[in-house]
Chains A and B, each alone.
Chain A
């Protein structure tokens, strides 16, 4: 092992992997929450929606479009003031979270919105005919019926998000990205870059695998 990868500090690699997983997990949870809320707002306030409201829709939609359009690396820089305000510092894994979450939530929100649009209009109508309130329709119909789409969307989002944690690493977030850049690329240790890449790939494959299994498990269509 040490002969094959002479420059790899395995303890450091482990710490970096932990940091990457931490960033992925925490930002994943927040992205999920914000994405579902934003997706619901987009779906519900759109024309013909249960809470049709042109102004709310226009504002939310613009917000989502703008943040999806900004390249992540620029988003990090733009969000420095906000990050310092929330986290208190610009360096470290936690400092990367706000920009990762704000970068991924709009993307996931659109996927949630698409999933909600796939819910059969007839089923919503049937629920209304049974006297369901709008809140009951959201909880008992829209979310459960679009769950497979939401889960597939979350899998895609998580994978994109890992890419972003690596990128955030370049500006000092820590994790496998920082390791690959500082100890690998800058110090010209290709073996370090290589191992970090492999670990990231493994994490991606595991997420995809688990995501597919859960999506299949809940999909009774």
Chain B
């Protein structure tokens, strides 16, 4: 869907040339959510602005949806850009227009008739959950609502690609989650390809399928979010992965086991440490009829044994697995079967 080949960007400043991107190659597939993570100054904004040619590459080729944008004139670009929606950290809404008028703006640019605009705006307002706010001005909205307007506006012309430049960086964690959820829903329901840049691994983990790590103007690591989380190679990638709290990493590990073993059952055992529960564990682990893999073990010693949790993957015949679970339950271990 998006292909950058040997892209280079050098800014000419009064203090001399600044190399923002050096020989960058990137491919984003149709329908995926692709994340780019990097520290401030890594060149993230430059990269995303190259995709819709807000910034012209000094060298290299930019191809989006089969069109080589880097070869187009300014006028041809205006047309192609309607295929690419963009949302921004600071929303960039027109304060002089209401919510509905802001969303209608790209439709006006495309020369849609007034009736069609009205209908499309209503659809979009519903899509982003802003019912009842159509005639509010941006200054009367919260950050999250402003970003919803930004998203509706970006989607107005049914683009094939949505670019998100730090779209949640100005929002609080809860609002961030709701916006990410909306982006994820849109990706699924509309099949739109999303490129998202951020400096927070949390965001990547939450919705991206694949991720590229950008450092000093080049991509140093790239892969599926799973792989990057579980075995980061570069030091900078490890730093980013370290940003995400341990439980989240655990969650990813569990999900990975889950998808690799669709027939297995994942259970979480809770030990209260009041009585010695070692024999129960022994019996489970040595049960010849099933195969048990320990995914997470977070146990601490107590006076009578230990307390904490074990997350296990149990493979085997459905009935045998169930009876093993019933067995350990009867030995006063709390068992939670995680939904698969």
Please state if A136 and B109 are interface contacts (CB–CB under 8 Å).
yes
Distance from B158 Cβ to chain A, minimum over Cβ atoms (Å): 13
Chain A residues lying within 8 Å of B90, measured Cβ to Cβ, are 122
Distance from A37 Cβ to chain B, minimum over Cβ atoms (Å): 21
Query: Which residue of B86, B94, B153 contacts A141 across the interface (Cβ within 8 Å)?
Result: B94
Chain B residues lying within 8 Å of A122, measured Cβ to Cβ, are 88, 90, 92
Interface residues of B in 236-276 (CB under 8 A from A): none
Closest to B140 in A: A220
Chain A residues lying within 8 Å of B88, measured Cβ to Cβ, are 122, 125-126
Distance from B19 Cβ to chain A, minimum over Cβ atoms (Å): 21
A147 to B96, CA, bound (A): 9
A144 to B96, CA, bound (A): 7
Distance from A111 Cβ to chain B, minimum over Cβ atoms (Å): 18
Query: Which residue of A125, A129, A136, A218 contacts B84 across the interface (Cβ within 8 Å)?
Result: A129
- Tell yes or no: B52 within 8 A of A by CB: yes
Please state if B86 and A126 are interface contacts (CB–CB under 8 Å).
yes
Count of CB-CB pairs between chains A and B under 8 Å: 70
> Given A128-B81, A132-B78, A221-B139, does the pair A145, B95 have CB atoms closer than 8 Å?
yes
Chain B residues lying within 8 Å of A133, measured Cβ to Cβ, are 75, 78, 109
A81 to B208, CA, bound (A): 72
Q: A125-B54, A130-B109, A131-B79 are in contact. List 20 more A-B contacts (CB 8 A).
A: A120-B92, A122-B92, A125-B88, A126-B88, A129-B52, A129-B81, A129-B85, A129-B86, A131-B78, A131-B81, A131-B110, A131-B157, A133-B75, A133-B78, A140-B108, A145-B96, A147-B96, A220-B137, A220-B138, A221-B95
Q: What 7 pairs between A and B have smallest CB-CB spacing? A: A126-B92, A131-B81, A122-B92, A129-B86, A220-B137, A130-B106, A131-B78
Residues of B within 8 A of A (CB): 52, 54, 75, 77-82, 84-86, 88, 90, 92-97, 105-106, 108-110, 137-139, 153-154, 157, 163
